[in-house]
RNA sequence: GCUGCUGUAGCUCAGUGGUAGAGCACUCCCUUGGUAAGGGAGAGGCCGCGAGUUCGAUCCUCGCCAGCAGCACCA
């Protein structure tokens, strides 16, 4: 039934066309070259097959291959070609799903024999063949019965499951490229030739069917695909650069820390790394002054305390049990290494009666915790089994919640800014299905937090992004999570503010209210860095090891050209140390080239070269990391300006 | 934890069914050289751990441990 619809074009012009007109027809009607170049079209921003009829009114845009939006199609089409190639090479391999992901795509296969990277060249060759065949993508809508029957006959049981999962009323679409076809939502480009050759298979890995660890494991092949060779190469180059700033590599190269077999997931901090760690702690500690009381709770506590907190029940597989190693020992009490600081802080709160006048009470701890993380989860400093949280617990009344949350927010944002992070997203997670605490309390708390979230956005003038994750809160209360974006665009969740309606009740914590009655306080858990170890890992990668002067573990190296100036260089180093800088003296009998190279590799921000000339003039020659420039200035000038530059940002603010 | 891969000197990596090699780093000697590698000599290894096959295992097989990638997990 032909009907006329009106289409709005990007230039604002409007055309009336038959509703059966396809995107391809429209491209052809505009120009021959567009008809050649178009790979799809967008209707009100949603991509469609070029062969799809326009059907209804809307704004239409033809998508050519070089449009950024075509990248998604290139990648998706490439996933299909990968699947065809694999089935051509290894008949009997079952196909499952093959979505587009950031920078590429993957396809999950079910096959008894797993793939290895050695298979990649063969697969890629086959893929290029399929692309050269340039078969058109054609779409068909099948009945459920037919689709299930066809795939069942082919032995594709995963596809049958997928068909069953398609919501009633949705079409079961089949896309074919030549003889090969796949169940697919689409859209696709016009033919396989449009994919081009700027793709590469990257890695092979296991992945659970439908992301559930109870399901069988499939073999996943990851690939990357781009519009052209330059983009592909730029991406591969970016990966190489990212690898160079891997904190595990820099940790070794810069001699910051190491791991070894006997201690899976626990860090051996070397002196330079520990200096950074202490720097970070000192910074955070200064930021707590006047607001928080720093405490320290025991590492090892009887398991009964963890029973009361509930951890021994539902967190047991993540806890380290501790007992006397002597089998004959009379005292065989079972202890646990603390996985969290909160129960300890509740004990401190509970010690002695607290008045409503005392609230809020803010207890902070740089608390070492141990968690038995699954072996496969361990990853350098980013995921460890022993780490230090910059943890705090605030005991307050409901009326104080909003203000406390905002205070924490200000602290988190300003701390991040001091480390150069200013692209932050604050995410509010609301009540999950499984939860404790009465509904009124959740209503109240969530209302407050929504308000606070709005205020956070307002105060930042829209600079801080906000988001809501419905149902993602902890079972004991709603929370804010803080995500920061690093120098190469990755997002890390670090800070968190969590309300807790559960813990005070479990431990029977209370304060005496105005009416002399016992009342239960509300508890807020909060962390800024989260894990100091992980935060340092993030900092290392963010700065690629080239820290700002105030945070560099070694700030200055003083070195000589010949031994004539040894005495003077020592004096320079002493002056720097007296001014509070971390300075090292390098008097080795090596050429200056060699020494500069070595200290540059160690990423020392400032090298002061002292030769005969400097010794005579009382000057130093200053060289900055990453620059070939050399500047001479008087010793006193150098010391003053370096000391100024090395002042931590919070202290500089305090000084005004 | 699951799937796959890997484990040889401090680091990066060769290599062989008959108990091992390179470069850098390290030590010593020579060299006093103006901003990213001066020259020479030397030292350094239970070839991840345990069992098996074998006359003989760093190498082949199995188990364990650890690491890497991804998945799952991170209340």
Q: Which CATH number do you get for residue A588?
A: 3.40.50.800
Phi-psi map region of A519: left, alpha, beta (phi>0 left; psi -120 to 50 alpha): beta
For residue A246, is it within any domain?
A: no
CATH for A206: 3.30.980.10
Q: Is the C-beta atom of A380 closer than 7 angstroms to strand B?
A: yes
Q: Residue A80 belongs to what domain range?
A: 70-241
Mark the nucleotides of strand B covered by protein, meaning any atom under 7 Å from a CB: 1-5, 7, 11-12, 30-38, 48, 65-75
CA distances from A22 to A42, A52, A377, A408 (A): 12, 5, 49, 56
CA distance A184 to A251: 45
CA distances from A226 to A102, A124, A198, A258, A523 (A): 11, 15, 5, 37, 50
Q: Which nucleotide is nearest to A563 (CA to C1')?
A: B32
Query: Is residue A558 located within the same domain as residue A534?
Result: no
For residue A192, is it within any domain?
A: yes
| Residue A428: CA count within 13 A, CB half-sphere | 21
Query: Is residue A423 located within the same domain as residue A372?
Result: yes
Phi-psi map region of A12: left, alpha, beta (phi>0 left; psi -120 to 50 alpha): left
Is A80 assigned a catalytic role? no
Q: Is the C-beta atom of A562 closer than 7 angstroms to strand B?
A: yes
CA distance A341 to A356: 23
CA distance A417 to A413: 6
Query: Is residue A564 located within the same domain as residue A470?
Result: no
- pLDDT reported for residue A1: 60
The structure tokens listed for A143 are 């009945």
Q: Is the C-beta atom of A653 closer than 7 angstroms to strand B?
A: no
CB A499 within 8 A of CB A404: no
Q: Is the C-beta atom of A114 closer than 7 angstroms to strand B?
A: yes
Query: Is residue A345 located within the same domain as residue A491?
Result: yes
The string of DSSP codes covering A346-380 is HHHHHSS--BGGG-SEEEEEEEEEE----GGG-BT
- pLDDT reported for residue A352: 93
Query: Is residue A276 located within the same domain as residue A327?
Result: yes
List of chain A residues with pLDDT < 50: none
The answer to whether the peptide bond before residue A560 is cis (omega within 30 degrees of 0) is no
Q: Which nucleotide is nearest to A472 (CA to C1')?
A: B75
Query: Is residue A475 located within the same domain as residue A497?
Result: yes
Instruction: Give the phi and the psi of residue A30 in degrees, each rounded to 5.
Output: -85, -55
For residue A249, is it within any domain?
A: no
CATH for A465: 3.30.930.10
Query: Is residue A502 located within the same domain as residue A528?
Result: yes
Give the number of domains in chain A.
4
Q: Is the C-beta atom of A217 closer than 7 angstroms to strand B?
A: yes
A75, A159, A525, A595: the catalytic one is A525
Query: Is residue A337 located within the same domain as residue A416?
Result: yes
Query: Is residue A460 located within the same domain as residue A533?
Result: yes
CB A162 within 8 A of CB A48: no
> ipTM for the complex?
0.95
Query: Is residue A377 located within the same domain as residue A477?
Result: yes
Helical spans, DSSP H, in A437-531: 439-459, 503-506
Is A278 assigned a catalytic role? no
For residue A247, is it within any domain?
A: no
Is A493 assigned a catalytic role? no
For residue A463, is it within any domain?
A: yes
Is A513 assigned a catalytic role? no
For residue A32, is it within any domain?
A: yes
Q: Is the C-beta atom of A264 closer than 7 angstroms to strand B?
A: yes
Identify the three-state secondary structure at position A420.
coil
Q: Which nucleotide is nearest to A612 (CA to C1')?
A: B34
Query: Is residue A188 located within the same domain as residue A283?
Result: no
CA distance A21 to A42: 14
CATH for A47: 3.10.20.30
Query: Is residue A521 located within the same domain as residue A385?
Result: yes
């Amino acid at each position: 039934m032909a009907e006329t619809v009106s289409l709005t074009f990007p230039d604002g012009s409007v055309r009336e066309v038959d509703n059966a007109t396809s995107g391809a027809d429209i491209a052809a009607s505009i120009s021959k070259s567009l008809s050649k170049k178009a790979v799809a079209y967008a209707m009100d921003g949603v991509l469609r097959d070029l062969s799809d009829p326009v059907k209804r009114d809307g704004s239409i845009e033809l998508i050519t291959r070089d449009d950024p939006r075509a990248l998604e199609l290139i990648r998706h089409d490439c996933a299909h070609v990968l699947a065809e190639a694999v089935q051509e090479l290894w008949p009997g391999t079952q196909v499952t799903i093959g979505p587009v992901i950031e920078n590429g795509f993957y396809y999950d296969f079910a096959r008894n024999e797993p793939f290895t990277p050695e298979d990649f060249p063969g697969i890629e060759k086959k893929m290029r063949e399929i692309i050269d065949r340039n078969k058109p993508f054609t779409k068909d809508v099948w009945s459920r019965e037919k689709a299930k029957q066809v795939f069942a006959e082919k032995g594709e049981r995963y596809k049958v499951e997928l068909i069953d999962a398609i919501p009633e009323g949705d079409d079961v679409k089949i896309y074919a490229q030549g003889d090969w076809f796949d169940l697919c939502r689409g859209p696709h480009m016009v033919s396989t030739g449009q994919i081009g050759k700027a793709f590469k298979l990257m890695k092979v890995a296991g992945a659970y069917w439908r992301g559930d660890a109870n399901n069988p494991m499939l073999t996943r092949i990851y690939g990357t695909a781009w519009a052209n060779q330059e983009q592909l190469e730029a991406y591969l180059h970016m990966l190489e650069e990212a690898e160079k700033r891997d904190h595990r590599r820099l940790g070794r190269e810069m001699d910051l820390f190491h791991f070894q077999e006997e201690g899976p997931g626990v860090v051996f901090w070397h002196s330079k790394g520990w200096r950074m760690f202490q720097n970070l702690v000192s910074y955070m500690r200064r930021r707590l002054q006047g607001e928080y009381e720093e405490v320290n709770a025991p590492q090892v506590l009887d398991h009964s305390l963890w029973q009361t907190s509930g951890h021994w029940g539902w967190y047991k597989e993540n806890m380290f049990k501790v007992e006397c190693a002597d089998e004959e020992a009379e005292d065989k009490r079972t202890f646990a290494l603390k996985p969290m600081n909160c129960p300890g802080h509740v004990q401190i709160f509970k010690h002695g009666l607290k008045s409503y006048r005392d609230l809020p009470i803010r207890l902070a701890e740089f608390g070492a915790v141990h968690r038995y993380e699954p072996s496969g989860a361990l990853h350098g400093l980013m995921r460890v089994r022993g780490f230090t949280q910059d943890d705090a617990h605030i005991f307050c009344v409901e009326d104080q919640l909003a203000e406390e949350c905002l205070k924490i927010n200000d602290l988190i944002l300003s701390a991040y800014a001091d480390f150069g992070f200013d692209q932050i997203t604050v995410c509010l997670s609301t009540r999950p299905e499984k939860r404790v605490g009465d509904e009124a309390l959740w209503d109240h708390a969530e209302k407050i937090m929504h308000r606070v979230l709005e205020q956070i956005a307002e105060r930042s003038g829209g600079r801080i992004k906000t988001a809501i994750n419905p149902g993602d809160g902890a079972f004991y209360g709603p929370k804010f999570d803080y995500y920061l974006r690093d120098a190469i665009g990755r997002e890390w969740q670090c800070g968190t503010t969590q309300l807790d309606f559960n813990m005070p009740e479990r431990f029977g914590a209370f304060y005496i209210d105005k009416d002399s009655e016992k009342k239960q306080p509300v508890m807020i858990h909060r962390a800024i860095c989260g894990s100091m170890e992980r935060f340092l890992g993030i900092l290392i990668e963010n700065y690629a090891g080239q820290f700002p002067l105030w945070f560099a573990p070694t700030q200055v190296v003083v070195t000589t050209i010949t031994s004539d100036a040894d005495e003077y260089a020592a004096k320079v180093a002493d002056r720097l140390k007296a001014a509070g800088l971390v300075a090292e003296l390098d008097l080795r009998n090596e050429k200056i080239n060699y020494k500069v190279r070595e200290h540059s590799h160690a990423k020392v921000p400032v090298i002061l070269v002292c030769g005969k000339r400097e010794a005579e003039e009382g000057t130093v020659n200053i060289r900055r990391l990453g620059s070939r420039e050399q500047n001479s200035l008087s010793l006193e000038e150098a010391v003053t300006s370096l000391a100024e530059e090395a002042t931590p940002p919070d202290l500089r603010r305090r000084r005004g």
